[in-house]
Amino acid sequence: MKTMKKDLQSVVKELKSLTKKTERLAKKLDKLATAPKKAKAKPGVKAKKAKKKVVKRKAVVRKAKKRAPASDTVMKIIQRSKKGVRTATLQTKTGFKEKKIRDIIYRLKAQGKIKSAKTGLYVKI
pLDDT tens sequence across 66-122: 778 999 999 999 999 999 999 999 999 999 999 999 999 999 999 999 999 999 999
Is residue 119 assigned to a domain? Answer: yes
Is residue 90 assigned to a domain? Answer: yes
Kindly tell me the sign of the dihedral angle through the C-alpha atoms of 22, 23, 25, 29. Answer: positive
pTM: 0.48
The beta strand positions in 19-104, using DSSP E, are 85-86
- Give pLDDT tens digits for 6-50: 899 999 999 999 999 999 999 888 888 887 666 565 666 666 677
Q: Percent of the chain beyond pLDDT 70?
A: 84
Domain count, the chain: 2
Tell me the residue type at 49. Answer: K
Is residue 16 assigned to a domain? Answer: yes
Q: So what's the pLDDT on residue 29?
A: 86
CA dist list (Å): 63 to 60, 66, 72:
10, 9, 22
CATH of the domain at 113: 1.10.10.10
Is residue 39 assigned to a domain? Answer: no
Q: So what's the pLDDT on residue 35?
A: 73
CB 84 within 8 A of CB 78: yes
Co-location of 120 and 74 in the same domain: yes
Is residue 58 assigned to a domain? Answer: no
21 backbone φψ class: left, alpha, beta (φ>0; ψ -120 to 50): alpha
Q: How far apart are CA 92 and CA 86, in angstroms?
A: 10
Kindly tell me the sign of the dihedral angle through the C-alpha atoms of 34, 37, 43, 44. Answer: positive
Segments forming the whole domain that contains residue 86: 70-124
Spatial CA neighbour of 118 closest among 90, 94, 93, 83: 83
